[in-house]
Amino acid sequence: MLTSLGEVDIGVRVKALEELLARKGLIDPTALDAVVDFYETKVGPRNGARVVARAWVDPAYKQRLLSDATAAIAELRYTGAQGEHMVVAENTEAVHNIVVCTLCSCYPWPVLGLPPVWYKSMPYRSRVVRDPRGVLEEFGTHLPETTEIRVWDSNSEIRYMVLPRRPAGTEGMDEEALAALVTRDSMIGVREALAPGDVAGEAA
């Protein structure tokens, strides 16, 4: 499965590089751990989920988000390095968006936290451009043949996030409940948002 390709190799290389830099005194492992913990436990995809939930319930905010994502996200005070220039692509019945960084692993940290290992892997970065429908199917996302799939390539200048479709049966749910349906993968575009009742089964 795509999500496991390259994970062990990348993990070993990153750990070896971290140990080498620490031995040379070029990084402070404690400070590095604090940064990682901040983005994994305090940011994660929670900020992005709140952005999506707000757009689902507030049409005016959604319009601002699609026309100037950087400013709209800043309204909720989710700003910082790696999120200076944002573009949000909306999924519809006719169009499904998916995000990649083909050159490295550019990713909107302030709204999605740290990128998953598979996002940084060469198999994902190369295949999603050539065969996006096949990659989506490996994530369990099966779209009608009539659905257009658009691939957005993040870079050092612009980072993309997907506005997933609001699940059916969520009428009347408040923003907090809606945010719980929004996953990191749905904001990258490899999966749809969760349906009501599926939150407990969501994998990390």
Residue 186 known to be catalytic? no
Residue 106 known to be catalytic? yes
Spatial separation of the C-alpha atoms in residues 76 and 89, rounded to whole Å: 18
Query: Residue 67 annotated as binding?
Result: no
Query: Residue 104 annotated as binding?
Result: yes
Alpha helices in 58-158 (DSSP H): 59-67, 69-75, 109-112, 117-120, 122-130, 132-138
Query: Residue 4 annotated as binding?
Result: no
Return all residues near 62 (Cβ < 8 A) that are at least 6 apart: 55, 56, 163
Given the residues 101, 121, 154, 186, the one annotated as active site: 101
Are 106 and 159 within 8 A, CB to CB? yes
Given the residues 4, 67, 104, 126, the one annotated as active site: 104
Residue 156 known to be catalytic? no
Query: Residue 101 annotated as binding?
Result: yes
Return all residues near 132 (Cβ < 8 A) that are at least 6 apart: 98, 149, 151
Spatial separation of the C-alpha atoms in residues 179 and 120, rounded to whole Å: 25
Residue 105 known to be catalytic? yes
**Binding positions for Fe(3+):** 101, 104-106
Active site residues: 101, 104-106
